[in-house]
Amino acid sequence: MFESLSGKLNEVFQRLGNKGRLTEKDIENALKEVRMALLEADVNFRVSRDLISRIRQRALMGNIEKSLSPGQQVIKITNEELTETLGGTLKELTNAENKPSVMLIVGLNGSGKTTTAAKLAYRLTQASQSSVLVAADRHRPAAVTQLKTLGEAIDIPVYQGGTDLSPIKVCKDGIDHARKMNFDWAIVDTAGRLQIDDDLMEELQEIKDTTSPDEILMVVDAMIGQEAVAAAQRFHERIGLTGIILSKLDGDARGGAALSITAVTGVPVKFIGVGEQSSALEEFIPDRLASRILGMGDVLTLIEKTQSTVSEKQALELEKKIRQSTFDLEDFLGQLQQLKRMGPLNQIMDMIPGMSSLKQQASAKALDGDQLKKVEAIVYSMTPGERQRPETVDGSRRRRVAKGSGTTPQDVNRLLNQFRQMQKQMKRLTTIKGRRDMVRMMKQGNNGNIFGS
């Protein structure tokens, strides 16, 4: 996600970070590059203009925090303003006072609407909320069959009604069925079209009037950029959306739709699709996504991904290592297999502070295969003492490790340099606000672990 944009922004801010002091010209030049990067990422030009204007205004005020260098301060401002552009805070689903809560899933054909409906049902199940999928798409051939197949795969019931029933009748009967069976949610998969037309909107308006939904979520394909933003705006104007789900975001290297859609439409993004699996649906949390885009990692999401597999004791031990800067290559090696089980490694690396630049040096395929094997081989070729104290790996040792791992001294050096950067980022995280948050989270019993076990 956002690979192209993230790479360009990291280059700009790295140059700023290398300067001891910043002039107004330095800031202006950097912001010109940032604006160009946003436009090349297909971000709406008005959104780009407003974002840059807010960053400029704050950066030139001169209120630099003593704990941060000028370059770090500009990055901090950019992170905060980007978070605001993305929507500011997490917007959760709205539950009805009485069961069932009703959720309409709308969108155009090809956006991943039916698949996303099943993912939402699976996510609700993980949160101990029951649901039934209502197959109200009677226009697309095999839509009902597809939803039934998806429901069976995740053990979620599907209400399909009679083949001769209208979509309105199916919705009404499906919600009645959900109420009778005491389901928490009725998730209605409505019909889409290849393009927005009056028939589609009139049918959706009728369904809305009949079902009085608590949520109307539009699924949009993130990969079509500003076309997705325009479609969301038209749907919102006609039927009133409560939220947006960006599907296929894992295949969107630019990110224009994700960065523009809330600012343009006023509708919050509530979830993002990051893969094909039933579990590949994440909450859209603006500050965490902004941190990923800026190469600052997303430790909290990483903790949530691993909290079911690690004990509190392991979490506290790892937190202590990070806080005391004793996290070494032995620990790193012990986490690689866990990382591979958590999902595509290129997505996980976006969440680890300091690791996004290493990801950008290789393709996604390499990160999930050859690159990971190379890292493992390098670490395995080191002695236990070298893994515990990577700083002792000098020129001659690099050559020995490279020979033993079938790599080059440059490969070894690259890994060591990146590991040092990661340690610095972790230390920074645990010395400002992030340290207090992480310690509090782990002491409260969240079974979180930065890398897993």
- 29 lies in the same domain as 128: no
- For residue 64, what pLDDT is reported? 52
116 plus 247 within the same structural domain:
yes
The neighbour count for residue 392, using CB atoms within 10 Å, is: 11
Which of 170-174, 302-306, 331-335, 405-409 is predicted least confidently? 302-306
Residue 290 is assigned to a structural domain of this protein: no
Say whether both 40 and 157 belong to one domain: no
How far is the C-alpha of 428 from the C-alpha of 432, rounded, in Å?
7
pLDDT at 109: 87
Q: Treating both helix axes as pointing N-terminal to C-terminal, what angle do 24-40 and 3-17 enclose, rounded to 10 degrees?
A: 170
Whether the CB-CB separation of 310 and 302 falls below 8 Å is answered with no
Lowest mean pLDDT among 161-175, 222-236, 251-265: 251-265
126 and 166 housed in the same domain: yes
Phi, psi of 355 (to 5 degrees): -100, -10
- pLDDT at position 123 is 94
Does 314 share its domain with 435?
Answer: yes
Mark which of 284, 319, 351 sits at the end of a domain: 284
Residue span of the structural domain in which 234 resides: 101-284
- Which has the higher per-residue pLDDT, 370 or 58? 58
The residue type found at 157 is P
* Cβ proximity of 356 and 10 under 8 Å: yes
- Look at residue 436 and tell me if it is in a domain: yes
Q: In this structure, what DSSP letter does residue 219 have? A: E
Q: Are residues 280 and 309 in the same domain?
A: no
CATH classification at residue 242: 3.40.50.300
Same domain, 192 and 273: yes
Pairwise CA distance, residues 292 & 275, whole Å: 17
* Of 249, 284, 319, the domain-final residue: 284
Asked if residue 263 has pLDDT above 60, the reply is yes
> Residue 291 domain-assigned?
no
Residue 348, Cβ neighbours under 10 Å: how many? Answer: 24
Average pLDDT, the chain: 81
Half-sphere exposure of 447 (CA within 13 A, CB side): 9
Cα dihedral 70, 71, 74, 75, rounded to 10, equals: -140
Work out the average pLDDT over 67-95. 85
pLDDT at 321 over 50: yes
Residue 57 lies in a domain: yes
Let me know if residue 222 belongs to a domain. yes
**451 lies in a domain?**
no
What are the DSSP E strand ranges found in 367-430? none
Averaged pLDDT for residues 230-238? 93
pLDDT in tens, 117-149: 999 999 999 999 999 999 999 888 788 999 999
- pLDDT of 442 > 70? The answer is no
Do 191 and 261 lie in a common domain?
Answer: yes
Distance CA 166, CA 106 (A): 17
CATH classification of the domain holding 12: 1.20.120.140
CA atoms 236, 240, 241, 247: torsion sign: negative
Higher pLDDT, 23 or 38: 38
- Pairs from 374-380 (Cβ < 8 Å, separation ≥ 24): 374/405, 374/407, 374/411, 375/336, 375/415, 376/333, 376/336, 377/405, 377/406, 377/407, 378/402, 378/405, 378/407, 378/411, 378/412, 378/415, 379/329, 379/332, 379/333, 379/415, 380/333, 380/405
The pair of structure tokens assigned to 339 is 């990382």
Q: How many domains does the chain have?
A: 3
CB 254 within 8 A of CB 5: yes
In a domain, 96, yes or no: no
Check whether residue 125 and residue 273 sit in a common domain.
yes
Looking at the fold, whether 118 and 175 belong to one and the same domain comes out as: yes
Q: Residue 347's pLDDT is what? A: 61
Residue 322: pLDDT band by 50, 70, 90 thresholds? low
Q: What is the CATH number of the domain that holds 303?
A: 1.10.260.30
What is the pLDDT, as a whole number, of residue 421? 79
Looking at 45-59, 203-217, 421-435, which range is the least confident one? 421-435
Q: Tell me how far the alpha carbon of residue 199 is from its chain's centroid.
A: 34
CB of 269 closer than 8 Å to CB of 241: no
pLDDT, residue 349, reads 62
**Angle in degrees, CA 340, 392, 399, rounded to 5:** 75
Task: Say if residue 217 is in the same domain as residue 141.
Answer: yes
What's the CA gap between 45 and 229, in Å, rounded? 13
Q: Residue 336's pLDDT is what?
A: 66
User: Is there a domain that residue 172 lies in?
Assistant: yes
Choose the final residue of a domain: 284, 317, 336. Answer: 284
Q: Which of 250-254, 288-292, 350-354, 439-443 has the lowest mean pLDDT?
A: 439-443
The residues, ordered by sequence, that sit 6+ positions from 410 with a Cβ below 8 Å of its Cβ are none
Together in a domain, 270 and 173: yes
Q: Over the stretch 348-398, which tens digit does the pLDDT of each residue have? A: 666 555 555 555 554 444 455 567 788 889 999 999 899 888 889 999 999
pLDDT tens, position by position, 159-202: 998 878 899 999 999 999 999 999 999 999 999 887 788 888 99
CA angle, 390 then 396 then 399, to 5°? 85
Q: What residues contact 388, with CB distance under 8 A and at least 6 apart? A: 328, 329, 330
Q: What sign for the dihedral angle of Cα 373, 377, 380, 385? A: negative
